[in-house]
Amino acid sequence: MNSILKKLKNKMARASIIRIALLAAFIIFTVIFVNKLSYRASVLIGLPAEKETAGFKKIIAGSEFKVMQSHEVIKSAMKSVLHLSGTKEVKLDDGMAAKIKRNLYYRYDGESMIFELEYFDRSKDYAVKIVNAIVEAYISDYSSKLNDITSKTLQMLYMKQLEAEKMLSSVNARYEKFCAAENIVNLENDYAMLSAQYSQYNGELSKINTEISIAEKLAERNLTYKPKPSSPAFGVSAAPSSQMEDSEENYDIKKKIRDSEIKLAVLKRKYTDAHPLVKNESAMLEILRNKITYKTTDMTVQQSKSAPAQGRNEQALELLKTKRNAYAALIDQCEGQIKSYPKKKAQVKSYEVEIAKIENILSAINKQIDDTRISQTGLSGSMPSIIETAAAARLNVAYFELSSALIALVLFLMSFKVESRVQLLKENQKLSNYKSVVSDEFKYRVLGHINKSGPFNFEDSSFSAACFNYHQKDSKQSRHVNIIRNNITSQLDKNTGNAVGITSLNPSEGKTLLAANIGVSSASSGQQTLVIDVNYKTTGLPVSDYYKVSSRNGLTDIIIGETPYDEVLSATAMDELKIISTGVLPPNVQKVMSSPVFGEFIKEVSERFGLVIADCPAFSISSDFQAITGYVKNVALVIDVEKITSTDDFREEIAAFESYAKSSNLYVLGVIFNER
């Protein structure tokens, strides 16, 4: 708690500086607010779609606003505002341009793509002219730049198109050169034909090997080998045409030979001799010719009956072996062609992929060129358009400066409340210290505390407005008084009686107000209560004024005049509450209070009433209190916290009171603190 108070104290030491700063901020923001009172003119602009098509730039509100703030746009706008000709130069100084930029603002709605340009100026007409001129200059600048962008885009696309065409031509040339070198027409058909021929040649070679084996076995047994009609032989010259004219089978073979020769001539004109189609057709032609040769030989052998069998077998074997060697050579050629197929296929595939890739690139470039040309023709649709021009300006309020000024003012006023709160904390700390002195050092009981209240606004003929225990029975103050009354009555016994003197260390500490409210509280509980005013020298209101009782007779008449107290007793608005005022001021109050009559009076009223409250004078300034306490032994001490100058002085005053209480055999019921 002490550390918190110390920090708060340090802060409050600078309270004046802070208040001056806040007041200065309030004045500054107020001046700025007044200076910023201006007219607002705005233009609504529809921007193109946020999309890049054929190189058109993407619209971003912030970047477009920077273009509107550029020196060129503002310069062009001022030329329009000043009604200058197109050739007339505008001298735009930095100060004027900075002022226009400073007063330009924008708002942008991304969904509707509406851009609102705002301009603020003290002149209503000037604000409208400036904002309209800036928008027109911006659209003109935008159109010029968009045309430049489109032209540059087309130029770039044409260069890319030319480069792609060159690349495509180069790849096609390399592909054709490769196909020519490898005699490639249709790679899949070539491979299928080679595979078929390879299978055919292997079958024929197998048949020839079988016939050779049969011929060799017959030769070992000296038997004559007669070739099968279906097995052609190689290496024998063609027979004379006169020997085959009568054979129908030879006629069909001759027809096939003529067709094969024509086909071979056509293929040689189209391909080279190394092409598989040419080689296959040449082999087929040779086989047909060998069939003719075989027929002629067979006829010649059959007619030559005079030739020995051994010679005929050797001749047949030689023809079969020649045929076998021819088929073996064809099979080797086919195998070489088939083995080279995967490599050729991979190379052809790579050329085809590269050509397709370049063709796709070229197609995309051509599409971009077409789109750009179409966009160039419809350029007006990609231009910003004015939706609503500024026709009139409206008064603008600088809300930021206004709110800042109000905040500074509120903080300035709150500083006083903070100071009050800090002061309250300090007083609470002081009260805690004083309570510690009373309870810890002097062992006095704290009966309670009451808070000083402001003026009471109760209109009642029965009791004064200060009697809050009557007017506000459920208030916080009333509850505090009830607690004090309970703490007092709980300590009363027969030895000391039920008369309680309410006093204070110094005058004007609130003891009379407390005594009046304790009386009301006791009477409200149903207890017969008597309040005696024994404070002759009070400077404030007597208790009788709180109860609105007026009586010429009082305590003086009882003691000096020996008047029965029943005749002096005054009634109040409450049946259970009675009061006896001081009466006429005697020449010597101390002598009156010291008389046995006063003692007998206290004894009588103590027996009749459940609680007797004596409003006593202050302890420190009057000897009257000493006389009164000769008969009133129960004392409750009221202490006003604000009256205490220091803890040490307070300790000394309490020590003096304790010393007197012990010497006079007083029973100190406790202490009541009167605080703010």
pLDDT in tens, 326-351: 778 778 777 777 777 787 778 878 88
Percent of the chain at pLDDT exceeding 70: 80
Write the CATH number for 554.
Answer: 3.40.50.300
Integer angstrom CA distances of residue 208 from 69, 201, 312, 330, 579: 99, 10, 17, 14, 161
- pLDDT attached to residue 518: 95
Integer angstrom CA distances of residue 557 from 314, 592, 632, 661: 188, 11, 19, 29
Of 46, 71, 62, the residue nearest 134 (C-alpha):
71
- Least confident residue range of 197-201, 236-240, 324-328, 514-518: 236-240
* Residues 217, 136 within the same domain: no
Does 441 map to a domain? no
* Residues 630, 484 within the same domain: yes
Size of the chain in residues: 676
* Residues 564, 515 within the same domain: yes
- pLDDT attached to residue 348: 79
* Residues 138, 221 within the same domain: no
- pLDDT attached to residue 53: 43
Summarize the confidence of residues 66-86 as an average pLDDT.
Answer: 76
pLDDT band, very low/low/confident/very high, at 11 (cuts 50, 70, 90): low
pLDDT band, very low/low/confident/very high, at 411 (cuts 50, 70, 90): confident
* Residues 193, 46 within the same domain: no
- Least confident residue range of 265-279, 347-361, 477-491, 609-623: 265-279
Does 90 map to a domain? yes
Is the whole-model pTM more than 0.75? Answer: no
pLDDT band, very low/low/confident/very high, at 51 (cuts 50, 70, 90): very low
Does 140 map to a domain? yes
Total structural domains within the chain: 3
How many angstroms from the chain centroid is the CA of residue 570? 77
Does 32 map to a domain? yes
**Could you tell me if residue 47 is left (phi over 0), alpha (psi between -120 and 50 degrees) or otherwise beta?**
beta
pLDDT in tens, 212-264: 888 777 777 777 666 655 444 333 333 333 343 445 566 777 777 877 777 77
Does 296 map to a domain? yes
* Residues 139, 214 within the same domain: no
For residues 472 and 198, the model is more confident at 472
Enumerate residues 6+ apart whose C-beta is below 8 A from 113: 46, 47, 48, 49, 50, 59
Summarize the confidence of residues 374-384 as an average pLDDT.
Answer: 65
Does 511 map to a domain? yes
Q: Which long-range contacts (CB under 8 A, 24 or more apart) does 60-69 make?
A: 61/106, 61/108, 61/115, 64/115, 64/138, 65/104, 65/106, 65/117, 67/138, 67/141, 67/142, 68/104, 68/106, 68/117, 68/134, 68/135, 68/138, 69/101, 69/104
- pLDDT attached to residue 394: 64
* Residues 581, 508 within the same domain: yes
Does 492 map to a domain? yes
- pLDDT attached to residue 249: 60
- pLDDT attached to residue 522: 94
Does 435 map to a domain? no
* Residues 478, 384 within the same domain: no
pLDDT in tens, 169-184: 888 888 888 777 766 6
* Residues 304, 392 within the same domain: no
- pLDDT attached to residue 560: 86
Measure CA of the first residue to CA of the last residue in the chain; give whole Å.
Answer: 19
- pLDDT attached to residue 471: 85
Is residue 86 predicted with pLDDT exceeding 70? Answer: no
* Residues 127, 210 within the same domain: no
Summarize the confidence of residues 409-423 as an average pLDDT.
Answer: 75
* Residues 247, 396 within the same domain: no
Give the domain range for residue 111: 2-154+374-401
Summarize the confidence of residues 23-41 as an average pLDDT.
Answer: 76
* Residues 341, 381 within the same domain: no
pLDDT in tens, 127-175: 888 888 888 888 888 878 777 777 888 888 889 889 988 998 888 888 8
